[in-house]
Amino acid sequence: MSYEFLQILWFILIAVLWIGFFFLEGFDFGVGMLLPFLGKKDEERRAIINSIGSVWDGNEVWLLTAGGATFAAFPEWYATMFSGFYLAFFLLLVGLILRGISFEYRSKDADPAWRNRFDWMIAIGSFLSALLLGAAFANLARGIPINADKMFTGNLFTLLNPYGLLGGVTTVSIFLLHGANFLGLKLEGELRKRVNNFAKKLWVAASVLYIALGIFTYAAGFWARGMVNPGIIPIAAVVVLLAAGYFVNRRMEGWAFILVALNIVLTQVTFFTMTFPNVMLSTTNPDWSLTIYNASSSQYTLTVMSVIALIFIPIILVYQGWSYYIFRKRIGTAKKSLIY
Amino acid sequence: MDPITLSRLQFGLTTIYHWLFVPLTLGLGWFVAFMQTRYYQTHDETWRKMSKFWGKLFLINFAIGVVTGIVQEFQFGMNWSEYSRYVGDIFGAPLAIEALLAFFLESTFLGIWIFGEDKVSKKAHLASIWLVAIGSNLSAIWILLANGFMQAPPAASYVFNEANGRLEMVNFFALVGNPKAWIFVWHTLADGFAMAAFLILAVSAYHLVRKQNLGFFKRSFQIGAVMGLIASTLVFLGGHTMGQYMREVQPMKLAALEALWETEQPASFSLLTIGDLTGKQEIWSIRIPYAMSFLACNNFSCEVKGVYELQEQAVEQYGPGDYIPLMVVTYWTFRIMMAFGLIMMGASAWFLYATRRKDYENSKWMKLVPFGALFLPYMANASGWILTEMGRQPWIVYGLLKVQDAVSPNLTVVDLWISLIGYTIVYGSLAVAMVYLMKKYAIAGPDAAMHESVDVAPVVIGSQD
């Protein structure tokens, strides 16, 4: 396999890992953010948590794998991005720690204040993580100041530009909608009705924000700086999101879930398409951008990693898919049926 | 403090903290899997309760390892970007493989194990806990292979690429076959076993002296004593083997942990030295002749090089600079690790010997000794890591890259103080919650572990109808 082929392959593989992460952990984050608002009673909250209880950790591994794969395949990208987004990633880590520990600890004590505290930590942690990841990706699309030594020269406030913030808020709203659709599929009775009503409102907010982000991206010319024109993909992303509204309003959660999931996937495809072959765009001087060519590992390392990834990714997909199959049933709020 | 010191401090604190919890995860997983297997084979209800009870403690501990582990993976890029650029071509691979092979496995099957008992077959449920134990130990193996490259980079595995100024991998199998790393694996996985055994001993003793669930906890105590002895012996043998490799690949660390200034042949071992460890003002010292030679090469006559000679060699090889690790740290952490390791061997042998009496739960020592012994593996383990990491200074990759050249150049002191204080607060709170829950569940005993929560009071959140 030629060096360039491997570099493109790994760009695609990392895109796939991020897409998998946003698709899977997207509804996790949404469910987490909705938790304290949707669940009034303890059984309801436990049912909401149990809808993702068995899978959230596996979903989060997509992020760890995306990080690890970036380190292995594009060390310069990993180094510049992780050190450049230092404080943002620190807050992201705090968010992930808060929600991760809360899933496991919230039911291990019967004190209502204890449980309530952990429920809010799940919500806040999920919100922080979604916001920061959205803002980070918006900044990658927009470009950040990078010098000739591939080093980020801004600070946290460089990332808090209007486009970055809009990207963050839009991501939060899409994940909320995604989470609401997922819960519509997993819950039953009164709780299901409640989440269906949430979804209607969330769909309006998500659509408005998403279209605003699209217009901003287009008006600022961010979409046309790579080698490949994303063409019809972003338009399709808008169409599926709008079409999801039809099903959200008719409480057809299955279709609504698929369409919003498709929107998330198409958004990521748009992002990676319009970026290619850059991985981090320098606003200081376009020649100093990190690309798949100047940021990648050696041909040997990419070959080794390709063999390993192509063996193990299918196996992972099979057993992770199986775990979703095991827990395919809806979750009631009857105390006896709940696993704490 | 300057950015390098702050980044080092943060990495040290977060890593030691992470590794306070991980060894217990590594070891206890095997115990729970074993207990559930026995239940599967014998349908003996006690085995089932054992897997539930120790499984609860396993889960409370596991959660902290998971959430602090994410920080570990991100920190290389966040705080050590120049390191990541320099060795990413080699070091990134085991990290990515760790995620692909181990993290997916342990997280997915842990979900099935916790939530799937009535949804999958008994066999599949049993397989899940085995896969969790295998997954977490696999992840330890890959991160130790990565660490092994930093400690003793195998010459066959890499080349220096002049064009882009970084190390590149040329032989994956040399990286994976690094003997130093596999001794680490041996030493560390056995340590996980030992830690789990000492937890089981401490908690069991607590209940035995109170005459609660005697059958359950006697069986647990016995398993803990047997495995504690086997595991701490394995840890010791692994450590001893490491000494011989250290003489070859990291002679400076070996000299520093002994505060051996002058080359000696045969070398004596300082049991206790009072002085300032400079070698010039030794006030009082107990030395065991020949012992250092034995530690370093398994015979009583070999030469062990001293710090002075090694410093001169290093200057010749790498240019001017200070190549001596912080002696007071290496000297004392080595002694703490070794002394506590030996006490662990002795204590578990004693516990095992004591169980031959039928009423050993009435013995006075049962009240305090097993509980006190629980702190031994924690202290030994933290000391061991401080020794192995600080003994490598000033290198981040031994002989190839210094710590001072590895740090992220764009980080300010303010950035680092924010994250350092932030991690300290978050990690501190985690520890409080974790110790509270561990204590509560450990004291509540096996019957409570079969229920949702050990608390009796009903939960009321929001309006009740």
Per-residue pLDDT reduced to its tens digit, B364-416: 888 888 888 899 999 999 999 999 999 888 899 998 999 989 999 988 899 99
Torsion angle, CA of B110/B116/B120/B126, rounded to 10 degrees?
Answer: 40
Distance of CA A326 to CAs A317, A322, A323, Å?
Answer: 14, 6, 5
Average pLDDT over residues B37-49: 92
Q: What mean pLDDT do residues B319-332 have?
A: 86
Q: Are residues B231 and B260 in the same domain?
A: no
Q: Which domain holds residue B109?
A: 3-247+325-449
**Could you tell me if B370 and B431 lie in one domain?**
yes
**Three-state DSSP class for residue B444:** helix
Please check whether residue B154 lies inside any domain of the structure: yes
Q: What local confidence, expressed as pLDDT, does residue A107 receive?
A: 87
Mean pLDDT taken over chain B: 87
Largest CA distance in chain B: 82
pLDDT of residue A80: 94
CA-based nearest distance B10→chain A, Å: 12
CA distance A138 to A142: 6
Chain A residue numbers with beta carbons less than 8 Å from the beta carbon of B10 are none
For residues A226 and A322, which has the higher predicted lDDT (pLDDT)?
A322
Burial class of residue B263 in the structure, from the number of CB atoms within 10 Å of its CB (0-12 exposed, 13-18 middle, 19+ buried):
middle
- Minimal C-alpha gap between B160 and chain A (Å): 12
Query: Nearest Cα to B33, choosing from B99, B97, B109?
Result: B109
Contacts of B409 in chain A (CB under 8 A): 151
Confidence of residue B457 (pLDDT cuts 50, 70, 90): very low
B459 in a structural domain:
no
Q: Do B60 and B151 share a structural domain?
A: yes
Cβ of B455 and A110 within 8 Å?
yes
Kindly state whether residues B243 and B277 are assigned to the same domain: no
Beta-carbon contacts of A193 under 8 Å, excluding residues fewer than 6 positions away, are none
In this complex, the residue of A58, A72, A152 whose CB is nearest that of residue B92 is A72
How many domains does chain A fold into? 1
CB contact under 8 A, A73 and B92: yes
* pLDDT band at B465; cut points 50, 70, 90: very low
Could you tell me if B311 and B162 lie in one domain? no
Q: How confident is the model at residue B463 (pLDDT cuts 50, 70, 90)?
A: very low
Same domain for B54 and B119, yes or no, is yes
Average pLDDT of span B146-165: 89
Q: How many CB pairs under 8 A join A and B?
A: 251
Q: What residues of A are in contact with residue B461 (Cβ under 8 Å)? A: 40-42, 45, 112, 115-116
Whether B91 and B219 share a structural domain:
yes
C-alpha A82/C-alpha A78 separation (Å) is 6
Q: Which of B289, B307, B324 is the last residue of a domain?
A: B324
Mean pLDDT of chain A: 91
Would the pLDDT of B298 be above 80? no
Q: Do B315 and B373 lie in a common domain?
A: no
> Rg of chain A over CA atoms, in angstroms?
20
Q: Is A314 on the interface with B (CB under 8 A)?
A: no
Q: Provide the pLDDT for residue B282.
A: 59
Please say whether the dihedral angle defined by the alpha carbons of residues A178, A181, A185 and A189, taken in this order, is positive or negative. Answer: positive
Q: Decide which of B299 and B456 is more confident.
A: B299
Contacts of A115 in chain B (CB under 8 A): 459, 461
Separation in Å, CA A20 to CA A30, A51, A265, B279: 15, 19, 8, 59
Cβ-nearest to B77 among A83, A107, A109 = A83
Find the range with the poorest average confidence among A325-334, B213-222, B395-404, B453-462: B453-462
Q: What is d(CA B412, CA B252) in angstroms, rounded to the nearest whole number?
A: 32
Of the candidates A177, A171, A139, A166, the one whose C-alpha atom is nearest the C-alpha of residue A155 is A139
Of B89, B95, B120, nearest to A326 by CB-CB distance is B120
Q: Is B465 contained in some domain?
A: no
Are B294 and B337 members of one domain?
no
The answer as to whether B456 is a domain residue is no
> Could you tell me the pTM of the whole model?
0.91
Chain B touched by A300 (CB under 8 Å):
yes
- Are B130 and B87 members of one domain? yes
Q: Would the CB atoms of A298 and B89 count as touching at under 8 Å?
A: yes
Q: What is the mean pLDDT of residues A72-95?
A: 94
Collect all residues of chain B within an 8 Å Cβ-Cβ radius of residue A153: 410
- Evaluate whether residue B462 is within a structural domain: no
B122-125 contact pairs (CB < 8 A, 24+): B122/B40, B123/B40, B125/B36
Q: How far apart are CA A46 and CA A338, in angstroms?
A: 7
Query: Which one of A69, A98, A116 has the shortest CB-CB distance to B96?
Result: A69
Residue B302 vs residue B104, higher pLDDT = B104
Domain that holds residue A8: 3-337
Instruction: Please state, for a pLDDT cut of 70, what percent of chain A lies above it.
Output: 99
Q: What is the pLDDT of residues A97-133, one digit of tens each?
A: 999 999 999 988 888 889 999 999 999 999 999 999 9
Question: Do B56 and B35 belong to one domain?
Answer: yes
Residues in chain A closer than 8 A to B453 (CB atoms)? 107-110, 340
Give the pLDDT mean for B135-149.
Answer: 94
Check residue B173 and give its pLDDT.
93
What is the reported pLDDT for B284? Answer: 67
Residues B190 and B146 in one domain: yes
C-alpha span between A290 and A299 (Å, rounded): 17
Classify residue B455: in a domain, yes or no: no
**Residue B461: is its pLDDT beyond 80?**
no
CB contact under 8 A, B426 and A105: no
Interface test with B, best of A89, A90, A133, A335 (most B CBs within 10 A): A90
Asked if B455 and A93 come within 8 Å (Cβ–Cβ), the reply is: no
Place of tokens 């100041």: A145
Nearest chain A Cα distance for residue B64, angstroms: 7
pLDDT of residue B324: 86
Query: What ipTM was estimated for this complex?
Result: 0.90
Length in residues, chain A: 340
Q: Is the pLDDT of residue A21 over 80?
A: yes
Domain tally for chain B?
2
Please tell me if residue A55 touches chain B, with a CB cutoff of 8 Å: yes
A311 interfaces chain B, CB cutoff of 8 Å: no
The answer, for A286 touching chain B at a CB cutoff of 8 Å, is: no
Average pLDDT over residues B420-437: 94
Query: Binning pLDDT at 50, 70 and 90, where does residue B266 land?
Result: confident
Q: Least CA distance to A310: which residue of chain B?
A: B100
